[in-house]
Amino acid sequence: MSDFPAFPPDFVFGAATAAFQIEGATREDGRGSSIWDTFARRPGAVAGGDTGDTACDHYRRYPEDIALLKRLGVRSYRFSVSWPRVQPAGSGPANAAGLAFYDRLVDALLDAGVEPAVTLYHWDLPQELEDRGGWRDRDTAHRFADYARLVADALADRVPRWITLNEPWCSAFLGYANGVHAPGVRAGTPALAAAHHLLLAHGLAVPVLRGAGARETGIALNLDRVLPATDDPRDVAAALRAETQRNLIWTEPLLGGRYPRSEDDTWEELVRRQTFRRDGDLDVISAPLDFLGINYYTPSVVRDAPYRDADPRTRTADDNRFEGAGMPEARHTAMGWPVAPDTLRDLLVELRERYGDALPPVHITENGSAEEDVPDAGGTVHDADRISYLDGHLRAVAAARAEGVDVRGYYVWSLLDNFEWSYGYGKRFGLVHVDYATQRRVPKDSYHWYRAVIAAQA
Ligand code: IFM
């Protein structure tokens, strides 16, 4: 560890999870159904037909998981609240038994000396709201603000850090354009309407959270470092379209109070004929943030390409005349994602250059890798590749800090192996191995490595 960069004493080392991926207990204590409960039952939607019904059984085993966090030495634990556990149908009064779970969780974390950081929405929309249009419908943004109030009134006295939405790009584009995530819609404009309503939901929730006493409020975006495959102007223009879809659609309204200038070239008629934006929305959306959460895993190298669908009437909003060119020279994780830690530094420095003082302090709210973990006879995983991945990305954070980017925290994704959405339980991101047959948890080598990193900083 002697050559490991030093972080300031108040730098937040953390670990993250999300409700649907770990809790299980999907029918317990009055929890309603979510779009992921429905989607996982659609034949072929999730690898192996896996569901979230049991997951890591965290709903019952949370004391054991908190003990793992305590031993790890993290200052903060980022988890998400399940909307259908708190508001089974997505509106109306709180389900007291559902809220009580998070109350117990927060108290147990504080007793263990771990600060809770709450994400309000990590993709598990109550099914009843989807039946009324889901994120295509503006009203869902208002329902979200009501839900935020219920959770914040119950927990903001003890939870300092709040994240409204996790990776709204996935909710909008994987959910309503490409259809590989719940609710599995594959159609044209809805993804753009969904993106706008997600931003609005965030903006409406920010003052609600502050009013309830939240000390720090932000959003977690999965921003991409997009690189053109060549310096041919057509590839450079394609990279800007990719960046518009992945990054600028979020950062421009949130940090700049404007829609991206490049949106016309990216979406053409889809955005020119939109009807979902209203006067005043940008003011709501651009409410100042206390921090920007960035989830980062891998860069994208793209080149110019024709539309995948030549017919504008059926074309989806993720069809923006670019295609992935890959990074054959890089190592790839078990997700097939190229590993290029320096691109995290570049992304952070570029954000700082683009937004200047409008860029709030940053927390890396997720970073981690799925690897082909093979437990030894004792159940331990010797995951040198994951250690190297985390080491590289933490060094990239230190490098960005050295260049003046105010990064204040870093959360490993994830504490536990868990339900990796449409990949089911086949992909493992955890610092802790979970044997799904027995629910036995065994810390991997990466857990011990991260523990040593944190201890050495102290
Ligand atoms: O597991 C997901 C998480 O839910 C959101 N960010 C990316 C992770 C890895 O794919």
Confidence of residue 2 (pLDDT cuts 50, 70, 90): low
Does ligand 1 come within 6 angstroms of the Cβ of 420? yes
Q: For the chain, give the number of residues.
A: 458
**Domain count along the chain:** 1
Residue 342 lies in a domain: yes
CA–centroid distance, 420 to ligand 1, in Å, is 7
Looking at residue 458, what is its pLDDT? 85
Report the C-alpha gap between 226 and 244 in whole angstroms.
Answer: 10
Annotate 410-447 with DSSP letters as a single string.
EEEE-SB----GGGGGGS---SEEEETTTTEEEE-HHH
Confirm or reject: Cβ of 295 under 6 Å from ligand 1.
yes
The helix, strand and coil proportions of the chain, stated in percent and rounded to the nearest 5, come to: 45, 15, 40
Do the domain assignments include residue 6?
no
- 57 Cβ inside 6 Å of ligand 1: no
Domain that holds residue 356: 12-457
Number of the ligand 1 atom closest to the C-alpha atom of 368 = 9
Q: Is residue 3 part of a domain?
A: no
Residue 119: CB within 6 Å of ligand 1?
Answer: no
Q: Summarize pLDDT for 32-45 with one digit per residue, the tens.
A: 999 999 999 999 99
Tokens, residue 370? 């799925």
Return d(Cα 158, Cα 369) in angstroms, integer.
31
At 283 the pLDDT is: 98
306 domain-assigned: yes
What is the per-residue pLDDT across 126-159, written as a single tens digit (0 to 9) for each? Answer: 999 999 999 999 999 999 999 999 999 999 999 9
Q: Is the pLDDT of residue 164 over 70?
A: yes
Task: Determine the 3-state secondary structure of 115 from DSSP.
Answer: strand
pLDDT digits (tens, 9 = 90+) for 320-330: 999 999 999 99
- 243, 366, 371, 420: which one is catalytic? 366
Active-site residue identified among 167, 243, 252, 371: 167
Q: Determine whether the shortest distance from the Cβ of 124 to ligand 1 is under 6 A.
A: no
- What is the best residue among 418, 420, 431 to mutate for testing ligand 1's pocket, by most ligand atoms within 8 Å of CB? 420
Q: Does the structure show a pLDDT above 90 at 189?
A: no
CATH code of the domain in which 179 resides: 3.20.20.80
Our answer on whether the CB atom of 413 is closer than 6 Å to any ligand 1 atom is: yes
pLDDT at 187 over 90: no
Residue with tokens 């536990």: 416
Q: What distance in Å separates the CA atoms of residue 175 and residue 187, rounded to the nearest whole number?
A: 10
Query: 151 alpha carbon to ligand 1 midpoint, in Å?
Result: 23
1 lies in some domain: no
Contact 218, 292 (CB under 8 A): yes
DSSP 195-254: HHHHHHHHHHHHHHHHHTT-SEEEEEE----EEESSS-HHHHHHHHHHHIIIIIHHHIII
Cβ of residue 367 lying under 6 Å from some atom of ligand 1: no
CA of 311 to the centre of ligand 1 (A): 32
Q: What is the pLDDT of residue 1?
A: 67
Over residues 245-255, mean pLDDT: 99
Q: If you measure from the C-alpha of residue 188 to the centroid of ligand 1, how many angstroms do you get, rounded to a whole number?
A: 25
Residue 5 is assigned to a structural domain of this protein: no
State the Cα–Cα distance between residues 208 and 255, nearest whole angstrom. Answer: 19
Q: Whose CA is nearest to atom 10 of ligand 1?
A: 420
199-216 confidence digits (pLDDT tens)? 999 999 999 999 999 999
In a domain, 191, yes or no: yes
**Using one digit for the tens of pLDDT, what is the confidence trace for 5-30?**
999 999 999 999 999 999 999 999 99
Phi–psi pair at 160, nearest 5 degrees: -80, -35
Between 268-277, 364-373, 409-418, the lowest mean confidence (pLDDT) is in 268-277
Mean of pLDDT over the chain: 97
| Lookup: tokens for 378 | 């004792």
128 part of the active site: no
For this structure, is 366 an active site residue? Answer: yes
Q: Which amino acid is at 38?
A: T
Q: What is the pLDDT of residues 346-359, one digit of tens each?
A: 999 999 999 999 99
For 50-94, the pLDDT digits (tens) are 999 999 999 999 999 999 999 999 999 999 999 999 999 999 999
Counts for the chain of helices (H) and strands (E), in that order: 18, 13
Q: Which residues contact 420 (CB under 8 A, 6 or more apart)?
A: 21, 370, 426, 427, 428, 429
